[in-house]
Structure 1
Amino acid sequence: MTKYVFITGGVLSSVGKGVTAASLAMLIQSMGYNVTIIKIDPYLNVDAGTMNPYAHGEVFVTEDGGETDLDIGHYERFLNKDLSKKNNITAGQIYLTVISNERKGEYLGATVQIIPHVTNEIKRRIKEVAAESNADIVFVEIGGTVGDIEGLPFLEAARQMKLEEGQENVAFIHVALVPLLKATGEQKTKPVQHSVQELRRIGIQPDIIVARCEKPLTEEVRAKIALYSNVSPQAVISNHDVDNIYEVPLILYAQKVHELLAQRLNVQIRDTDISKWIEFVEKMRRSSREVKIGMIGKYTKLKDSYISIIEALKHASAYLGVKPVLKWIESTDLEIDSDITKYLHDIEGAIILPGFGKRGSEGKIKAIRFLRENNIPTLGICFGFQLMVVEIARNVAGIVKANSSELDPSTPDPVIDLLPSQRNLDVLGGTMRLGSRKIRLLKYTKAFDAYKAEYIYERHRHRYSVNNKYLDVFESVGFIVSGISDEEDVIEFMELKNHRLFIGTQAHPEFKSRPLSPSPIYKYFIERIINS
């Protein structure tokens, strides 16, 4: 029978609940069990696609085109498997379905209520993911914190599942902050106590407490949390700060939380093989040669806006035995400062980051010109690639008014234009060119050299693309097409001849990068920096 593990959070959000959930799932998977993991977001948006990165961080895209919470990216990286759009459940999806069903008359005249109609839909979706993935154990992270009004239906659904599925088939793990008072050096347990009390008031008794803390829990604090949370001291787990998130599974492994959870779910405790993961972490620790990379974008004040790119650079760098040092450069600053050299003079390579809209775009174009003229390895991602196209058109091909029609609808030379499939849409959410697409790479190009394959699949999220009417002009100045979607006639990769590396892709290769199998194009980018 399928087992379910619900992960809840207390005190405050963004304390690392997603990484904790991913780490726990990875350890159980390493025992040989088939695992999947679901993120529940209680907001009323149907998905994350229309949300501002400053408010929500990166929008992660799944193989099947889901625009999801960034925690889905953590799950995929830690489990080394592709998840579905169904693995991200939002309150918006739930209420939309319930109301749609009511309009169709599917509730047989009943008064539609949170219980049972909303909670039943939540349970149905969780079980649907379990069935489609054929999972032995399903981890479900409930976003937000205990006590949030919008999260209450999801907690109630989880409570009901324990009654319906049986004591041995449902476990609860609570992640809460244990702050450290700097003045006294004392770890305070009251926030954990209060969040557990709130959880128990709802009807849920946690089986394991994961304490997020700056330093390892003292035995005294561990015992105190256990006493007030009604769990054994062994079930209070210290999840203290580490240098990088990939060390979290090792911390949990050392405290045998995977064995504790297996025992709680009444499944066999099997040998846990995390040797390759340990090897990866050791590579990161040993890397001493630093590579300074400019990260040029307009959401640089919130690094989570680009978290998959950051992690892809870490994966590639660890593979090559180097350490990435990221220099964040706000593209809006470049627009108002005439001295661009002071921002870019000390970098060894640069990523032109994605991000829709006009703000900061001219700053990126200025940076792209500097990088091109100074032969600095440059990788453009999605909108970053599109601005590389604009820069080449203006400053190399002599099309001085070239632009993207997204940025200037009246431009006489829209070298970047709206895809035909994106015209006349009356709905924005979920309508971009999304998900995994087949790409043909042209031989004897750097793109082909990076992937070592003629056909690849990468994920996408865009409405605009290179205007094919200008391809002859670009080819004549050495900016060549190196990857194309034959089925849709969309340009996927372009690169500049006679440059160390000046390459852009319409795709988001970072979404498929994994700790144990780095993205080929990110690995190639780092290689071109350190080997030239």
Structure 2
Amino acid sequence: MARFIFITGGVVSSLGKGLMAASLAALLQARGYKVRLRKLDPYLNIDPGTMSPYQHGEVYVTDDGAETDLDLGHYERFSGVPARQSDNVTSGRIYQGIISRERRGDYLGATVQVIPHVTNAIQEFIGADIEPDLDFMICEIGGTVGDIESLPFIEAIRQFRNQEGRGQTLSIHTTLVPYIAAAGELKTKPTQHSVRELTSLGIQPEILVCRTEHPLPDGERAKIALFCNVRKEAVIPALDAKSIYAVPAQYHEAGLDSEVLHAFGIDDAPPPDMARWDDVLDRLFHFEGEVTIGVVGKYVGLPDAYKSLTEALIHGGLANRVKVHINWLDAELFEQSAGEIAAKLEPMHAILVPGGFGERGSEGKIASVQFARERKVPFFGICLGMQMACIEAARNTAGIAGAGSSEFGEPAEPVVGLITEWMSAEGLQKRAAGGDLGGTMRLGAYEAKLAGNSVVRSIYGADTIHERHRHRYEVNAHYKDALEQGGLVFSGMSPDGELPEIVERPDHPWFIGVQFHPELKSKPFDPHPLFASFIEAAVKQSRLV
């Protein structure tokens, strides 16, 4: 029977609840337990799919097509457990479901209220879709305790804990212990007030995780324990780490996993097997070289917009024992002059054009593709990056003047467009019957077939792959023959042969574009093969520069 761990945050946001949850999952797994993680977000959007990356960071996509919070990316990277649609919910989705039920008359004329209807719906989400052999379900609640929007979630947890019993549930509260430089002291009062706020809402936390920039002395731990009504050993210091991948080991040394098990009355658990995390840290801090990757994107002002991409590049470095430096380059700068492009890109050992939406910066991305092709610099195009590579090839190697994307207007030659714009009625009907509705956004894992003699076939070591998608526009397969005559080979296609999934250039040291998002499936202990190969190509390029 699954035990439930609820993680809340207080004092300020950005305390690292998601990383703590992911690290705890990794530690419990290392002790042999089966773990899953969930995220409850208080905002009123149905999901983060329509939110600006500058507001919310990247949108993480699951195999089953859910657009979720980026914390689910941390969960997957640290635990290796694929997230599902049922692992992320928002206030918006909760209220949408309740209002739909009310409109159908499901409540039989009753007055619909936060208690019990909203809190019941939240509890249903917490306990749904759980495997019989699951040992721990870790649920992170977004936001900060005391915010009005999180109150229904806190109340739902209070009720859930009463129903399940203290032996089956656990509350972990993360707080801030600030250092006042003028006084030369750590201050515990914010933590005391935060715990008091949570307790006033009916939840007494068993464990406190205290974020601090300075070591937490025993005296301060004892003080926090006394005033917050927890064991001293349950006051866990959480100092900044050199890398997020050092956090699991740091929490283990601080006793987090031991305290969690103790709280559940489990005192005979085996010690954690940290071998794979030791290997990750060894590769991370004992590297044998360095490479610089130029990422030409649209949202480069906020690295969280490309969080999974950043981590996947680091994983590629781990696979090759090299340190990866990422140079974020605004694609709009490359729309000014060829000299600007050369000055920015010549120092790079490889170039990556990531996914995105909208026209802004598109010509700069196309220019960077051209630079990589002509200068023989390793190139990786992801989603929109692949589409830009196809447009560049159409214009400059296939002689198709006016090539463009219908996402940006009405080009004379729509090399990229909604599949409803160029697929036959018969083809659309066939795809719709198979569950692919054409012009709607493709979300989640889709199958692709790889050409037997292709570079990507040798990288994957497989004829068939399943990768996650998030896009509305596709490369128009009607241009396939013309583009291949120009040297751009279509080495991966959908099973029905209609939708291009991967392109590559055999005459180039490393030039690959993919319609999907491989970064979403990369992990530090299992780097995605495309990123491992891309960084290997960058290492070779570094020796030529």
Q: CA deviation at 1:478?
A: 0.7
What is the Cα deviation at residue 104 of structure 1? 1.8
**Are residues 1:441 and 2:442 paired?**
no
- Helix, strand or coil: the match of 2:211? strand
Q: Which position in structure 1 is the counterpart of 2:532?
A: 523
Q: What is the alpha-carbon distance in structure 2 between the residues aligned to residue 332 and residue 227 of structure 1? A: 56
Amino acid at match of 2:532: K
| Change over 3 Å in CA distance of 1:259–1:431 after alignment to 2 | farther
Matches within 5 A, 1:7-406: 7-129=7-129, 131-132=130-131, 134-267=133-266, 268-336=268-336, 338=338, 339-406=340-407
CA contact 1:416–1:466 (8 Å) conserved in 2: yes
2:92 aligned partner, one-letter code: G
Shift, 1:189, TM fit? 2.0
1:239–1:488 distance in 2 versus 1, CA, 3 Å: farther
**Residue of structure 2 aligned with 1:463, choices 469, 472, 484:** 472
Superposed displacement of residue 406, structure 1: 0.2
Deviates more, 1:174-183 or 1:521-530: 174-183
Contact 1:42 1:91 in 2 (8 A): yes
Question: Is the Cα contact below 8 Å between 1:61 and 1:68 reproduced in 2?
Answer: yes
- Write the deviation string for residues 32-80 of structure 1: whole angstroms up to 9, x where unpaired: 2211110011111111111111100010010101110000110011111
- Residue correspondence of structure 1 range 415-430 to structure 2 within 5 A: 415-420=415-420
TM-score scaled by length of structure 2:
0.93
Secondary structure at the counterpart of residue 49 of structure 1: helix
Q: Which moved more, 1:216-225 or 1:55-64?
A: 216-225
Structure 1 residue 337 displacement after superposition: 5.0
1:397 Cα shift?
Answer: 1.7
The 3-state SS of whatever aligns with 2:50 is: coil
Determine if the alignment matches structure 1 residue 511 to structure 2 residue 512.
Answer: no
Residue 224 of structure 1 deviates from its aligned partner by 2.5
Counterpart secondary structure, 1:231: coil
Aligned partners of 2:66 and 2:443 also within 8 Å: yes
Q: Does structure 2 conserve the Cα–Cα contact (< 8 Å) formed by 1:36 and 1:133? A: no
Residue 472 of structure 1 and its aligned partner are, at CA, apart by 1.0
Deviation per residue, 1:238-270 (Å, 9 max, x gap) = 111111101111011112211111111123423
Confirm or deny: 8 A CA contact 1:377 1:501 kept in the other structure: yes
d(CA) in 1 for partners of 2:104, 2:59: 32
Q: Tell me how far 1:219 sits from its aligned partner.
A: 2.3
Q: Which amino acid aligns with 2:398?
A: A
1:18–1:43: structure 2 CA closer, same or farther, 3 Å change rule? same
SS at match of 1:299: coil
The offset of 1:2, in angstroms, is: 2.1
Does the C-alpha gap of structure 1 residues 35 and 431 become closer, same or farther in structure 2, counting only changes over 3 Å? farther
Question: d(CA) in 2 for partners of 1:501 and 1:112?
Answer: 59
The residue type equivalent to 2:373 in the other structure is: R
Q: CA deviation at 1:180?
A: 2.5
After superposition, what is the alpha-carbon deviation per residue over 1:496-519, rounded to whole angstroms, capped at 9, x for unaligned? 121111110001011111111110
* AA partner of residue 525 (structure 2): L
Deviations 1:110-153 (A, max 9, x none): 21110101101110111113x24742211000001001111110
Structure 1: state its 5+ residue gaps.
Answer: none
For residue 359 of structure 1, what is the amino acid of its counterpart?
R
2:459 aligned residue: 450
Q: Which amino acid aligns with 1:161?
A: F
**1:401 counterpart letter in structure 2:** G
Residue 355 of structure 1 and its aligned partner are, at CA, apart by 0.9
Kindly indicate whether the alpha-carbon contact (under 8 Å) linking 2:36 and 2:81 is maintained by their aligned counterparts in 1: no
Contact 1:422 1:432 in 2 (8 A): no
Q: Distance in 1 between matches of 2:448 and 2:227?
A: 56
* TM-score, normalisation: structure 1: 0.96
SS in 1 for 2:272: coil
SS in 1 for 2:273: coil
Q: 1:431 to 1:218 in 2, by over 3 A?
A: farther
Contact preservation (8 Å) 2:366, 2:389: yes
Secondary structure at 2:408's aligned position in 1?
A: coil
Task: Give ranges in structure 2 of 5+ residues lacking alignment.
Answer: none
CA distance in 2, matches of 1:422, 1:401: 17
Instruction: Letter of the 1:120 partner, please give it.
Output: N
Cα distance 1:183–1:301, how it changes in 2: closer, same or farther (>3 A)? farther
| Aligned pairs, number | 527
- How far residue 431 of structure 1 moved from its aligned partner, in angstroms, is 4.6
1:474 corresponds to which residue? Answer: 483
Tell me, what secondary structure is at the counterpart of 2:281? helix
2:323, 2:23 → 1: CA distance? 23
> Post-superposition shift, 1:12?
1.7
Aligned mates of 1:155, 1:336 — CA distance in 2: 52
Query: Aligned residue for 2:495?
Result: 486
2:174 partner amino acid = V
1:400-436, Cα deviation, whole Å (9 max, x unpaired): 311110012x1110000112399999xx9x9510111
CA distance in 2, matches of 1:15, 1:379: 33
Report if aligned partners of 2:236, 2:255 keep a CA contact under 8 Å in 1: no
Pairwise CA distance, 1:15? 2.1
Q: In the TM superposition, what is the alpha-carbon distance from 1:214 to its structure 2 partner?
A: 1.9
Taking the aligned partners of 1:311 and 1:86, their CA distance within structure 2 comes to: 24
Q: Report the CA distance shift for 1:485/1:246 in structure 2 as closer, same or farther (over 3 A).
A: same
- AA aligned to 1:170 is T
CA RMSD across the alignment: 1.9
Seen in structure 2, the aligned counterparts of structure 1 residues 422 and 177 have a Cα distance that, compared at 3 Å, is: farther
Distance 1:191 1:336, change over 3 A: farther
Q: Which one is further off, 178-187 or 81-90? A: 178-187
Task: Give identity over the alignment, percent.
Answer: 46
Contact 2:488–2:503 under 8 Å retained in 1: yes
Name the CA shift for 1:453/1:126 in 2 (closer, same or farther; >3 Å).
same
